[in-house]
Amino acid sequence: MASNANNSQAQPYRPYRLLKTLTAHQRAVSCVKFSNDGTLLASASLDKTLIVWSSQTLTQIARLVGHSDGVSDLAWSSDSQYICSASDDCTVRIWDARSGECFKNLRGHTNFVFCVNFNPQSNLIVSGSFDETVRVWDAKTGRCVHVIRAHSMPVTSVHFNRDGSLIVSGSHDGSCKIWDAATGSLLKTLIDDKNPAVSFTKFSPNGKFILVATLDHNLKLWNYSSGKFLKTYTGHANRIYCITSTFSVTNGKYIVSGSEDKCVYLWDLQGKTMVQKLEGHTDTVISVACHPTENKIASAGLDNDRTVRIWVQDT
């Protein structure tokens, strides 16, 4: 099994290069994500807005205006029609991605909302907040379905697995927990250390693994069912910010992450070796996203950068 995985990536690594720099935000860009159908890219910013871009032409399609404070995170519905956003104004909003209309404002969190995601069916939204709770919302009605008193410090990330049955959450309290999405009950505590803080976590595309970033410059891949960690990815800088990382699966299997040294890092998932470091941003790279079908990466920079950069592999 392991040898097959290695053989599939035996072809030489094709480096990414900068294709375009997008400069429409007035403050730090906090998050970038491609839509599931690959046609759109959305960016969120501390300038209180989100921008929807064509991922082909890289032109602006809509600007989502309505939050009264910075936006920290965004997520796409599975049908690529809707975006939900998490803001320091303590709300989650749901938007029509193309028209830019906001048609739901989810209120209930009592502090900054820091992270958000749709479930795969896109009938539920999960959010995490500095109020230390994880909330599950009905996307259609905007009603709060569960309030989970999940952590003892700010919640840094929330993510559903591939069938929507589980939620993973991470927190500055150093823990990473798995919740039953239907009931809101705790199923498993994957990590329960006081230090370092868990700054980001997400399920792998197949749902078997969980990628966990901690504020000691480490990224680890955990096996969900055994509760053991399998691989560690290092070399990047991450001690302060909740930097997102992700899986690249369009051409071999890689782990991609931002870094506080202003670069994007790529590692071979199996071999754990760093294969490329993308330079160009002028501040911490806080967020990275991989296109669902093309070998294309988007990255976002903080306040001394304020750009979204698009990187591609030459075919």
Express each pLDDT in 196-241 by its tens digit.
Answer: 999 999 999 999 999 999 999 999 999 999 999 999 999 999 999 9
What integer is the mean pLDDT of 140-160?
A: 98
The per-residue pLDDT for 2 is 43
Backbone phi, psi, residue 101, to 5°? -80, 135
The per-residue pLDDT for 279 is 98
Which stretch of 5-9, 24-28, 39-43, 231-235 has the lowest confidence by average pLDDT? 5-9
Strand order of the β-sheet with 144-148 is: 113-118, 124-129, 134-138, 144-148
Question: Model confidence over 270-283: pLDDT tens digits?
Answer: 999 999 999 999 99
Contact 52, 64 (CB under 8 A): yes
Question: Model confidence over 61-97: pLDDT tens digits?
Answer: 999 999 999 999 999 999 999 999 999 999 999 999 9
Q: What is the pTM of this model?
A: 0.95
pLDDT higher than threshold 90 for residue 142: yes
Quote the CA–CA distance of 130 and 109 in Å, as a whole number: 9
